[in-house]
Copies of this chain bind each other. A is one copy, B any other.
Amino acid sequence: MIGFEAMNDGHWPAVWAMLKPVFRAGETYPQPVDISEDEARSFWMGLPLRSYVALQDGVVLGTFYIKPNQPALGAHVCNCGYVVGEAARGLGVGGQMCAWSQAEALRLGYLAMQYNLVVSTNARAVALWQRHGFEIVGRLTHAFRHKRLGLVDAFVMYKEL
């Protein structure tokens, strides 16, 4: 049984252990591959972000954030980012985080959710978001500089809540 709670400073070491290999890989997030721990913490926990952890028996399995995707007149659309720890891959954590984050976003008053840069080669993520109701509303050709593959396309994915 996976539970969710707002992230706090005590979760950071476990969360950083998850984020670090993801950023270093340079295959899914646009942040610098050599991002420092402080920069990563600021990105993942800084205001006006809200960040969360997915827990099982007190162990952090995954983490995500919710933030407004635009200022005032676009602030009813949120943006989220999700990372599942390597040890927890394949357990459905990503899907549960996606579903729970949508409910939480509604609770926070958001009307829609937008992912701005879903890397097209991350097929598992694309399929997962589609199963959770997201549509590919746009293709950004060569918009992501994949560390191994070079310039690849990215998708804008969107869902009204």
User: How far does the Cβ of A74 sit from chain B's closest Cβ, in whole Å?
Assistant: 4
A145 with B31: CB separation less than 8 A: no
Does chain B have a CB within 8 A of A71? yes
Copies of this chain, complex-wide, total 2
Q: Does more than half of chain A's interface fall in helix, strand or loop, or is it mixed? A: strand
Give Cα distance in the complex from A70 to B43, angstroms: 13
A98 in contact (CB, < 8 A)? no
17 further A-B pairs in the complex, CB-CB below 8 A; given A76-B151, A111-B142? A29-B73, A30-B70, A30-B71, A30-B73, A31-B71, A32-B72, A33-B73, A70-B116, A73-B144, A74-B143, A74-B145, A77-B140, A114-B140, A137-B138, A138-B139, A138-B156, A143-B158
Q: Can you pick out 18 interface pairs between chain A and chain B where the beta carbons lie within 8 Å of each other?
A: A30-B70, A30-B71, A30-B72, A30-B73, A30-B75, A31-B71, A32-B73, A33-B72, A73-B145, A74-B154, A111-B142, A114-B140, A116-B116, A137-B140, A137-B156, A138-B158, A142-B160, A143-B158
